[in-house]
Structure 1
């Protein structure tokens, strides 16, 4: 089966050249090689030189450096880029005419044999006067080609109906730059990006975020094709990336992996081999021979986006470890980042994703991404705990001790019963989230972000809080004030740290959260602070109106004997209790809306790609 597959791929590549260019590329001059190979940039080693021969023009395509080429497409064009004239195919054994607008107005190759030079005869249309520029695409080989090469202009005049005259400017003996810019119809890149052509049909594709290959909007992606006893890796990344890499791993974790990386270097791209370190010293230092077993075939930077095609040997020995692309299966790790180090790439701060299972690289079937369920649950649990249950529980304990007086739940005051329920939920959700993230990572986070440290401190404070509450001294005892202050300090410190930790979570690569989540968190903070200010103010007004001097600071309510004598009447609510209950209801509704919104965003992350896919799915329906 492998031999059959290898033959089919090789045959497909060979067959893309012999018949020459198809009519579909007449206007763009852009060959469709490999479903996404980009043309070369910079100067071309080939020249297009026209010269007069009687009433015709002989156009010569050659290389001053003696570099042969395999394929070509040649046209004569006016300054308005209209294709004109007629080529005499009988004048050349290596080409045949192509009818782009009129018969024989273009000419292309017959076979992929090496050609050192091609001479072809061109005649202008009858009655035409004006300049003509010869444009060509010349392919050195299948993966290496230049698009839109130009000749010097030729000016056509006439003395008689069948006697055209030609004038030539002084010829520049150097190669002409590819100044011709093909006219291309602007298409939605998510639908027409040629990189994705052939995925799951002729090549193995994998990208980040998950399922982006199907929607054709990956932040970073890799495509693998078999080329004889070599493997070609195509890599691409979005415009903000300065590097993109693919790792071959025996599991879905980073560490002891062979990496092919493409890096922006000046106006071009360089390819290197590197090897990843695992926990605790995460990194991807380059090999002493960074080109071991690889060859950069093609590369480009278009609108800032990186593209490269790297050919890799089927067997390489990296750090004493054999990577056999034919005999072994591998997980793919795709990553991209915006920074570089002295001898390695920087952190994958733009995107990172591992495949869910290992797969033979010659198997072009769809490769699923590793599930991020545990990461999503971790985020959702922490949001529900610290923006939801903790916020309401803290508010109840601080401002609602003198509300719902005379009523109890299971023998406890209403405020205390609900406070205990909300805080136990906070404790359970936090511990569960903490366990889930360590089950997922099986190590300490490798990101340079204080989220992990702050989250661990928050979890420790949360864990000891109910233990201290269980052993609290009885009200009125000498040690009760100490407990009150410790309980209040630890609880508020944990809550503040948790909110700060959530802000840092937005910047985590694995979280894939949009930046606007920061503003939702800011809205929560504003709501929480305003609610505290209003309730504190209402407590002060209630104290004055009832001519009682009980402070609104709750820790003093249980400070010791006689400290809350003003509230000795336990049968009635404090003044303005209805207002406080109404404010609590509004607070809970808004908090619930914020929590639900953030949980949905976290669960569906990356939400931007999900929204794009949704709009693409419903667009045809709306159009109808």
Structure 2
């Protein structure tokens, strides 16, 4: 009997004074004391948490204090820093006095802090160091007034990260960027991230914009504009950043929606780069009403705004995820392959090859290489065979590119300006050109000159429209701050015009028989063409690399 009483008394004694030294790593996940039969208080907590700063960047130290009001004291506590999106422990604590000690939790050593004794305290202070890649955080504590009296879920205000990072993309948040996996600190990186929080979503946006321009993140049930829930960061005339939420319905004006923030949004705009981070207390809506779904296509777009903050139509094709993203359960496998879709990139690459290389060289062969490449094969001059082959290849490449973009868009792109209109005209005229050539009269026919003029004029119209279409297309996919791809295209056409002039002058000299040796004339024309083709390929490769990075 005495032994039984001794065991019961020992168990009770151990329960009452369990972990008075604060070695409570086993409670890291639940943040609840292992006191049998005890539950948290439901009344307002007499304790609160203060912080030395409400913003931070990687490596910053934040002083964190648990305090009591109305003369209350406490004997024990457990304190952690939790990411707002994901609710996981983050960062490390540095022990600054004898009342606190670090604990090893799931996030590693010193990822939580607790008491060292059960003596009464009115406040405790510690220091927290922000890790790399951290987003918004809150400090959360469980504070024990006594064995069975404690309050859990005591939280600080939200601390916002002043830097945007891609370190935790795929594991701590969903990211979408152009170029893929780019560093948000780089000048040419268009970046967004989103992660669900307890009562909404944490958004980060970063990218190159000018005054009165915006970055928008949209959520949609399909890959078309309309019925989209958009969250926008935009610069105004004062150099400040405005955050808004709108609902898009087709081509109608955006409908502004109420947006409530948790914590204070953090933004920065300087040197042409805007960074914006906020926590939206909202449910994503794609049909003018809240939806229980957490799976969406995600859009990332930029464009201009009115002086009053009203957004205008985006000037470039938005980036759209290839598949729906489940925001409630994303993982490393859901990290987006950022940028344009494969079909869009393939469309652009084939059009560049067709109208920078094969089409251009084919036209030069017909106009300037008749003497230099007049050897007969299959009863036709080499220049003619090369012309037919290159122009046929141009039509084939254009047709494939045309089919690819229609397969991607599944209709008409009403939000890309004149580019699709000019592209369709180029496609139609290119398709008709070889049929007209097959109906040409004999070289000695009295009306042959009509065909020559019509064939040449149609080729000139196609060339001019193709140039304009390529320029507009490159502007749509080029997200760099200096729009280098259209500039490279401009350099190429300057190069092309130069060689047209050189070859035209050479032709005029030949007609006047200024050169006696025909073989030298042929050799000179061939050298001019080879030089042009080498430069042509250099421009083409640089633009193909740029498209691949889009």
8 A contact 2:239–2:269 mirrored in 1: no
Over 3 Å counting, the alpha-carbon distance change for 1:9 and 1:482 in structure 2 is farther
Q: How many residues align?
A: 433
Per the alignment, do residues 233 and 472 of structure 1 end up closer, same or farther by CA in structure 2, a change over 3 Å counting? same
Unpaired stretches in structure 2, ≥5 consecutive residues: 1-27, 33-39, 41-47, 65-79, 86-94, 97-119, 129-138, 144-153
Of the three residues 254, 274, 279, the one matched with 2:225 is: 254
SS in 2 for 1:445: coil
Per-residue deviation, 1:508: 0.9
State the distance in 2 between where 1:110 and 1:291 align: 29
**Residues 1:226 and 2:197 aligned together:** yes
Q: Secondary structure at the match of 2:265?
A: strand
Counterpart CA distance in 2 for 1:592 and 1:317 is 46
Q: Does 1:383 align with 2:352?
A: yes
Instruction: Write the distance in 1 (CA, Å) between the matches of 2:52 and 2:142.
Output: 12
Counterpart among 464, 471, 489 of residue 521 in structure 1: 489
1:531 aligns with 2:495: no
When the two chains are superposed, the root-mean-square deviation of aligned CA atoms in Å is 4.4
How far the C-alpha of 1:489 sits from its partner, in A, is 0.5
| Gap change, CA 1:355 and 1:584, over 3 Å in 2 | closer
SS at match of 1:483: helix
The answer to whether the aligner puts 1:275 opposite 2:250 as a matched pair is no
8 Å contact kept, 1:388–1:592: yes
Pairing 1:586–2:531 present: yes
The equivalent of 1:174 in structure 2 is none
Q: Alignment partner for residue 452 of structure 1, among 420, 431, 434?
A: 420
Please say if 1:470 is aligned against 2:415.
no
Shift of 1:240: 2.1
TM-score (norm 1): 0.59
Tell me how far apart the structure 1 counterparts of residues 155 and 232 of structure 2 sit (CA, whole Å): 23
Q: Is 1:96 the counterpart of 2:67 in the alignment?
A: no
Are positions 1:347 and 2:313 aligned together? yes
| Structure 1 position 473, deviation (Å) | 1.5
User: Cα distance, 1:446 vs. partner?
Assistant: 4.0
Unmatched 5+ stretches in structure 1: 1-7, 38-72, 75-91, 101-108, 114-139, 148-188, 549-571, 607-624
Partners in 2 of 1:146 and 1:464 — Cα distance? 60
Equivalent-residue separation in structure 2 for 1:250 and 1:112 (angstroms): 41
Instruction: Give the Cα–Cα distance (whole angstroms) in 1 for the partners of residues 343 and 462 of structure 2.
Output: 23
* Distance in 1 of aligned mates of 2:486 and 2:376: 39
Q: In 2 relative to 1, CA 351–299 (structure 1 residues): closer, same or farther, beyond 3 Å? A: farther
Name the structure 1 match of 2:376. Answer: 408
Residues 271, 291 of structure 1: 8 Å contact kept: no
Q: 1:422 Cα shift?
A: 0.9
Change (3 A) 1:322 1:494: same
Q: 1:180 corresponds to which residue?
A: none
> Contact (CA 8 Å) 1:36, 1:197: kept in 2 or not?
no
- Native 8 Å contact 2:235 2:241 kept in 1: yes
Contact 1:449 1:508 in 2 (8 A): no
Q: Retained in 2: the 8 A contact 1:248–1:258?
A: yes
Q: Normalization by structure 2: what TM-score?
A: 0.66
Query: What is the aligned partner in structure 2 of residue 62 from structure 1?
Result: none
**Which residue number in structure 2 is paired with residue 555 of structure 1?**
none
Whether contact under 8 Å (2:63, 2:127) holds in the other structure is no
Secondary structure of 1:330 counterpart: strand
Deviations 1:558-599 (CA, angstroms, capped at 9, x unpaired): xxxxxxxxxxxxxx9687222112222222222223223322
- Does residue 482 of the first structure (1) align with residue 454 of the second (2)? no
Q: Which residue of 2 aligns with 1:398?
A: 367
Indicate the SS of the match to 1:238: strand
Asked if 1:308 corresponds to 2:247, the answer is no
Tell me by how many angstroms 1:459 deviates.
1.9
Residue 421 (structure 1) aligned to one of 372, 376, 389: 389
Q: Of 312, 322, 332, which residue of structure 2 is paired with 1:356? A: 322
Distance 1:205 1:143, change over 3 A: farther
Secondary structure of 2:494's match?
Answer: helix
| CA shift in 2, pair 1:595/1:410, >3 Å | farther
What is the DSSP-based 3-state SS (H/G/I as helix, E as strand, rest coil) of the residue aligned with 2:193?
strand
User: Is 1:437 aligned to residue 405 of structure 2?
Assistant: yes
Q: Equivalent residues in 2 for 1:89-168 (5 A)?
A: 93-98=121-126, 111=141, 142-144=156-158
- SS for the counterpart of 1:259 is strand
Write the deviation string for residues 345-364 of structure 1: whole angstroms up to 9, x where unpaired: 22334783222222332213
Query: Aligned in 2, Cα 1:540/1:332: closer, same or farther, shift over 3 Å?
Result: closer
Partners in 2 of 1:513 and 1:239 — Cα distance? Answer: 6
- Residue 470 of structure 1 and its aligned partner are, at CA, apart by 0.8
The answer to whether the 8 A contact 2:195-2:327 is kept is yes
Partner of 2:89: none
**Residue in structure 2 matched with residue 332 of structure 1 by the alignment:** 298
Kept in 2: contact 1:199–1:364 (CA 8 A): no
* 1:535 CA drift (Å): 2.2
Q: Which of 258, 263, 270 matches 1:291?
A: 258
User: In 1, Cα distance between the equivalents of 2:530 and 2:127?
Assistant: 76
Q: Work out the CA distance in 1 between the residues paired with 2:58 and 2:350.
A: 54
